[in-house]
Amino acid sequence: MNIIKSRKKGFTLIELLVVIAIIGILATLAVVALQNARKNARDAKRMADVKQIQTALELYYNDIGSYPLTGEIDESIATGSNTYMAIIPTAPTPADGDCSDEENEYTYTSSDGITYTIEFCTGSGVGGLNEGLKLASPSGIVATTPPVPWACGDNLTDSRDSNVYTTVEIDTQCWMAENLAYLPSVHSNSQFYTQGGSSLPGYGVYGYDGSDVPTAKAQDNYTTYGVLYNFFAVDQVNICPTDWHVPTDAEWTILTTYLGGTTVAGGKMKQTGTTLWTSPNTGATNESGFTALPAGYRNTVGSFSDVANDVYFWSSSVNNPNAWYRGLSYNSVGVYVSSGSQAYGFPVRCLQD
């Protein structure tokens, strides 16, 4: 009987290197996670320490009628007969984030006994407060450095659906630099026709003949061009984020006038190139930063037309029985000003209040 001995194949050098690299990556991720956990634990302790100190100070105040003055407490908070905190905690080390070693301590100050402050620092956001220096007082704990206020040019996050939009300042106006993508519901072609005929809000995504919102949002045209709204959605629904609105006809005129008038403003508003716009995309420079895209439109019976060729933006102004809008085209440098049926589906650009 022949016995066949199998030869076990070992790792090649490349396989060993790959395994070692993977182990190294996993080890690095584990170390980073551990470091973050320790940092968060230190910050949580700092916040808890300060709140315990505040509790002891309030007990002191209830008995004495005032807070200890600067220098009157050191290792404990106590009077001759009562101890409110036997040992005042010290901040855990090392310092974290932007906190220096000098800031990584609990610094108590009271000049009059009527109020006090405890200055301390956390390396991350804690309790809804930004990272950095904080002040505790009888009225609570606040960050000493307020958050940087939002400014035009920053990204705008819509709290309703977490969509994020770029923004651009053009003269005195602050515009979204992308089409609105708020989609509370979506209507098939026949439904869109019915909505318009009944003077009810209608919503759509170019090329999608359905009524399922998640499916509509999965379309490439939703990501690129946003939503097509009939005017009843503009007029009856707060479709823009808080502190933003659909611009009036007059506000559109302010924009195009600043850009040189309707005969040339379109080129300054259109995205450059012919990746999305049909060639020749006449006069497109986008020097305004408005970045208009050729989203096309939805007609009153619900069908779609002219993607890559044209775009029409609603205003919020009525011209009974129609409504005012602005249009841009691949073969024109101008801006088209007209009014049309309120049952059309056009995109929307929001303007800051």
* pLDDT tens digits, 139-148: 999 888 666 7
Give the chain's count of helices (H) and strands (E). 7, 19
d(CA 299, CA 196): 10
* pLDDT tens digits, 179-221: 999 999 999 999 999 999 999 999 999 999 999 999 999 999 9
d(CA 76, CA 59): 13
* pLDDT tens digits, 98-139: 888 889 999 999 999 999 999 999 988 887 788 889 999 999
d(CA 261, CA 244): 24
Contact by Cβ (8 Å): 117, 135: yes
d(CA 68, CA 51): 16
Q: What's the angle, vertex CA 336, arms to CA 333 and CA 337, rounded to 5?
A: 145
Spell out the domain ranges in the chain. Answer: 15-143, 156-352
Confidence of residue 15 (pLDDT cuts 50, 70, 90): low
d(CA 105, CA 97): 14
Q: What percent of the chain has pLDDT over 90?
A: 76
For residues 5-18, give the mean pLDDT: 61
How high is the pLDDT of residue 61?
A: 93
How high is the pLDDT of residue 126?
A: 80
Contact by Cβ (8 Å): 68, 44: no
What rounded mean pLDDT belongs to the chain?
A: 91
Q: State the greatest distance between any 2 C-alpha atoms of the chain, in Å, as a whole number.
A: 102
Contact by Cβ (8 Å): 19, 11: yes
Residue 10 pLDDT > 80? no
How many other CB atoms are found less than 10 A from the CB of residue 48? 12
The distance of Cα 69 from the centroid of its chain, to the nearest Å, equals: 45
What are the Cα distances from residue 240, in Å, to 82, 159, 228, 232?
Answer: 59, 11, 13, 14
State the alpha helices, DSSP H only, in the chain.
13-64, 189-197, 213-217, 220-225, 231-236, 249-258, 265-269
Confidence of residue 4 (pLDDT cuts 50, 70, 90): very low
d(CA 178, CA 192): 23
Which of these ranges, 47-61, 137-151, 159-173, 306-320, has the smallest mean pLDDT? 137-151
Confidence of residue 346 (pLDDT cuts 50, 70, 90): very high
* pLDDT tens digits, 208-265: 999 999 999 999 999 999 999 999 999 999 999 999 999 999 999 999 999 999 999 9
Contact by Cβ (8 Å): 267, 283: yes
Contact by Cβ (8 Å): 180, 349: yes
* pLDDT tens digits, 55-85: 999 999 999 899 999 988 878 999 878 999 9
How high is the pLDDT of residue 114?
A: 92
CA count, 13 A, side-chain hemisphere, 137: 14
d(CA 175, CA 8): 67
pTM: 0.63
How high is the pLDDT of residue 1?
A: 45
Q: What are phi and psi of 141, to 5 degrees?
A: -120, 130
Buried/exposed 138-174: b ≥16 CB within 10 Å, e otherwise: eeebebeeeeeeeeeeeebebeeeebebebbebeebb
* pLDDT tens digits, 16-59: 666 666 766 665 655 555 567 888 889 999 999 999 999 999 99
The pairing of strands 244-245 and 228-229 is unpaired
